[in-house]
Amino acid sequence: MNPELPGSFTIDAWDAGSRARTGFLQTAHGVVETPVFMPVGTQGTVKAMSPAELEGLGVSILLGNTYHLNLRPGMEVIEACGGLHRFMGWNRPILTDSGGFQVFSLAGLRKIRDEGVEFSSHIDGSRIFLGPVEAMRIQRILGSDIAMVFDECPPHGCTRDYACQSMEKSIAWAAKCAEQPRAAGQLVFGIVQGGAFTDLRRRCAHELVAIGFDGYAVGGVSVGEPEDVLLQGMEDGVAELPPDRPRYLMGVGRMSQILKAVSLGVDMFDCVIPTRYARNGSAFTARGAYPVKAGAYRVDTRPVEEGCGCYTCSHFSRAYVRHLLNVGEILGVRLLTIHNLFRYQAFMVQVREAVRGGYFGDYCRAFTADEPALQEET
């Protein structure tokens, strides 16, 4: 495979004690080094952050959402502005979710049919239809580097019959997505579904590989299930995927979960956790998260994380950031978002270095050993 072409995925290191690997994914807007964490920019922006700030943090790829961008501002606006990259001023890669997660999250506002899903807009109640043809057309107009197939994300606790029917529908929609035209250089990833049922997930993976995609994702996890069910679904989803294609675990973002997934051979992650926690007043550190808004930090002159080199920690104290958050100043959310995203990017750099350096197992054990101390600070 020509490493200059979009879709080329080169693995440069494997961990001897697990399936962890590092690599490089070529896209139309540049190379993504894996394993990678993708900040979520659902509405065409990562909340509280400018593109220049994200670039300064080393962010190589962002995530956008088909459903939400189609509602606002609408495809006519984004198309007139030259596509999503130009519209939001971001020149690096973008992955767009197809809207399949909204089939789960907006369950009270939708009706599933064989051809797709009919939604009542959460904004004004207007009727919207989204299926594989529509989802791929929208992503083609957006011009994302990686487009996800349209799928159904079933709820945790659903019956086997429901999970099976949902999986079969997702496979049929994936095949339809594969037939649709794409933007120049656009990659398309299939999504493994099957609920909490090992055989269904493995069968779904087989079917998707037979269709053939540029990469594969594991969906339908982190939807309210217990940790052991989440981890099993992750493992079942990855087990049958080809090793020469990138693997993406959708919506999972706790650092301990990322480490487990990397050990299974997962390459890509996204989650709202770092930005959402920042808006709620919590900071991530190398030892875990703690609530900066808490009264214990009212006169704490230390930085948000000691030893951190981000802009926030280089210039401001916990006391100041806490003050901003508690009086509702926008700067408080911005400073904490900068720190949390910096911490996640630094974490992924450490993971890649550990795999390439041959000490990934030791890194994971040290991370796990730190968790009790973390809980004391949380």
Among all residues, which ones are annotated catalytic?
97, 270
Cα-Cα-Cα-Cα dihedral sign, residues 156, 194, 6, 133: negative
CB atoms near residue 276 (< 10 Å): 15
d(CA 139, CA 185): 12
Question: Buried (b) or exposed (e) across 298-318, using 16+ Cβ within 10 A?
Answer: eebeebbbeebebbbbeebbb
Name every residue whose Cβ is closer than 8 Å to that of residue 357 and which is 6 or more positions away in sequence.
none
Tokens 């890194």 identify what position?
363
Residue with the two structure tokens 């990686």: 146
Name the amino acid, one letter, at 170.
S
CB 133 within 8 A of CB 176: yes
Structure tokens at 164: 């099976």
Cα separation, 112 vs 185, in Å, equals 31
